[in-house]
Each structure stands twice: as structure tokens, then as C-alpha cells.
Structure 1
């Protein structure tokens, strides 16, 4: 029974391992005999083509394969990887850089790369001077999955059918029924919005999915909704937020803010400002940073953060 051919990627990896661990060099005959995958070559010419192709591919990836000849037999050619050129320099990161890497790793938390990203982050922390886990408080990105209504609304847009749902208004907090012809789902300020035609108001409206209460119901039959070719973006009310940050902390907030000035800010803090559409969600994020983020403006956000911190403290006292 004929054995299965070794995948090219596996053969390349085995070749890198062999050439990086050889004491001096490996000749072509050594490579053909010892490296997994080259036994698949049916002739000397086939092996030569395979090896030359692999060698060129590895060099193209930046792997320094050097050619060596024997001093007594110049036609006896060998190969190895120059480890002085291939080795990476010592890894050193500042607290802010480790924070950014933490954010990147958390982005993959719900994907097939979750294990690998967390393992890599653990290794980076191990070779840095940041051994105290508290150093990273609040640096992990809080990535929310799609809101509960996302799937139903996306299906409704695909089927071109109207929907009905209960909605909590941002400005008053009042709830009411909305009947909407859904047009598009867009991401803004770390949240999802539905853009569509409100049948009661007879106008285009935007709805933040996190304010939809309960189940989204279909109204009518598929194919009735006509989606415009061009949809004018609708302005979303925002709130200006001013924060005082501990130096080199709260990387996620820094990334989407800009420097600012504030008379009441502590001298040892960095002051930043940003525009947000959902104060409540920002309060959840800020509370995770603990003492490293102070809310200077607005007062409603400061109160929301304090409520969450006091609730967390009370849980710790139980």
C-alpha cells in the first residue's frame, strides 16, 4: 500500500529544523535521506527540483540558508541555516507595549486562534520584567459579541422584510414599539446600529442594537422592503468625555482619544478627551481600569463608574 505524500508545508518545516540543528552542514544526500518528505521524490532529478524550489522559498521568507563546501572536496556542497542571522534579538517591552499586545490577543478570544494567542502573550510576559499580574489591570480589551438582535436583523435585511421590536430611547429612557424597514447594519463607537425606515415616523432612523429589548419580530412577507441604492449616514448624538489616565496605562482608551487640558486634572496624569454614544458601556470599561482612570467630565459618567466600583467592592465583602 502506497503511503500518503508529506504536505509541502510539513516538509519545509522539517527542512528548517534539520538545517538549523546540523552541527556543520547537510549535503543533498543527507537531506534526501534524513528530512521527512524528500523520500517522495521518484528520481534524482525530481529531488533536485523539489529541494531547489524549497530552498528558494525559504530564502524568500527571509531564512538565511548558506551554502558550504568541503575544503578538500569543493564539489561536496552542503547547506545549513546561519543561526547568527536567524536568531531574534532579546525581547524587551514597556508596560504600554505589553498592554497593546494584550489587546491584540484578546481580539482573538472567540476564534480558533485563542489558545495560540494567549500562549504567545504568556511567553512574552514571561521574558519581560512585568511579573506582577496587577500591572495589566484593565488592559485586556473587552470585546462584546454581536447583540442578541443582530442575527435576526441581518436575516431580515437579507429577506427584505420589515421588523418590529421594543426600543429604549437614549435621551429619555422611555420604551416603545418600533416598526422598521431594515436597510443596513453598521458599526459605530464599539456598537452596532440598525439603519432603516421607521413606518410610524415616516423617516430614516438609526437604532442602537443594545437598546433593543426582547425579541425582534417579522412583519409582512419577504421581498416587500425596498433598500435604497445610497443611504445617507445619520448623525448619532455623542457625549464628550474627559479622562485623567495614569501614564502608560489604559491603552484601549488612549488609542481612540486625543490629548486635552482640564483645570481640575492631577498633575501626574495624562488628560484625554473622546466622543462616545453610549455612556453606560464606557462606564463598564472604565471601571475595569480601577484607579488608573479618573473621570473628569461628565458627572453622569463619573457617577456610573462609581456605582460599578462600589458594587464590585460590596461583592468582595460578602
Structure 2
């Protein structure tokens, strides 16, 4: 067999090993239409390239692709290559410090080895999209890695934290999950000193250290829902609760998850919006701008702000404005 044929067979073997957890030599030989001896040689070629192919003898044994000490070459099919290229393009405008440059470097390497037909498809996708970079706050990637490992290994973390009043405080927590919104990163964790669940902004953390103190994971709320509730209510002076005559998905299309929480209401055709704000007039304007029939539940001051807004808009429209059918 030619070198090209051997290389193609080795790549096909790699694709099979990536497809399912374990294969016997006989199964692989049947798939590739070669002998068991050829499979053993091809496995050694993969190992020489850096792929950790483990072999187990006896009943139930076989070949298995494991994790190694270095990153070997990756084998991607057409769909995976396109998805990776598009994801790297999106990551180039992200909020992790240094990740944008790394994503662009990886994208350049991937583009270099792509066949022309795939490069054309990726180019068409990139040409039809733009990344709108908002006022997000960049987070050091080492901080993310430290916290992610602490979540995975269930070890306590200590750090300095700047509270909303700006006063730095020392915190010790049992981390559960990292949650990213469009603008910021948050950590949901059990605060050891306060004996309760808390949400922490990563950009307010300083001197983060993972300890060697392991903890037993607790039953916890859904991290995404908990962080959403925290960022839409806790930081604000006023918490608005309003009923809207609309399907929840209609409202979610207009309200980002970091701005408001939308839930189905008991009464069919309505939903409940919970949002926070420091200014009731601002809240009244944005709720009115949604364009749905609205019932304000809380706070009472929001009803007064809505009434003022209605009077001001009526006056602005002038005496000749068409107010609809009598």
C-alpha cells in the first residue's frame, strides 16, 4: 500500500476511535478491511503523532482513545470544521482577555488547511455576519481557568471582592458554576461566612486563590436562573413586577436575560415580567415601549410614574391628536 493510502487509513482509524468509546481489533479490521496486524501498526502510528490510544486485553477489551499530555492534531469533518470556524469568529469579539487574539490565530491556522470548498462556505458565513461588540468587561483567562477548576474539583476559593459601596472585603466561597451574560461574567457560589448562596462579578474579584479545602457539593438552585434573578433585581433600588398580555417568548425577544426575567402567568395569554431599575420614570418608559397591554403590580410608585408619563405624552401630542374611536 502507498504512503498516501496508509495515511488515509490511519485518519479513518482515528475517525472511528473518535466515534465511540471502545473498539475491538476485529471490529476495526472489519471496518477498514485490513488485518488485525495492520490495525496494531496503525495504532502505533497514531501514538507516534501524540494520540493516546489505550489498549485493554481480554474479554471486553479493545482500543480506546484517551486524553494525553499534549494536544495532538485534530480531525474534523466538514460540519465540525465550519462550526469551529464560525465559533472562533464569534470568540474573537468576546469578553475574555487575550481570547480574541488566540481565536484569530486559531482561525488563521484552520483557514490555511481548509479545502477550497469549505473555505468558500465559511467565507460566505463570515461575509454575511458582523459581531456587535458592546461595553463588555474583559476578564483575565487565568481567572476563568482558576474558578472553572475550583468548580470542577469542589475546592473552596478565597478572594478580595469590591462590594457595590466600593469597600473591599475578603470572601471565602464554595464555587458551583460560572455564568456569562452578554456583558459580564458571574460566579454562583455558597458564601461560607454568610451561610447563603451569592452571585459575584468576576471583574470585581482580586487575588483569587483556590485552596486545598475540598467541600461536599450542596443542592443548589439553577445557576443560570439564580444569576439572572440577581442581576435583574438585586443591584437596583426598585423592583418592578408587571403583567403583560403577550406570550413569554414575545417578551423575551425584546428583553435581554440580564435586564428582566419573564415567566408564564397563571392566566392564559399573559406573562409576568420582573425587572429592576434605579429610576421609576425610566422603568415606566421602557415598559410602555414594549407595546403590550400592561398591568402594573409593584411598586405603587411605578403606577404613579406611568400616569405621569401618560399625561406628558397626551400633552405632547396636542389638543388635535387622534385619540382613537370614541
Compute the TM-score of the two structures, normalised by the length of structure 2: 0.34
Q: Which structure would you say has the larger Rg?
A: 1
**Which one has more relative contact order, counting CA pairs under 8 Å at least 6 apart?**
1
Instruction: Give the TM-score taking structure 1 as reference length.
Output: 0.35
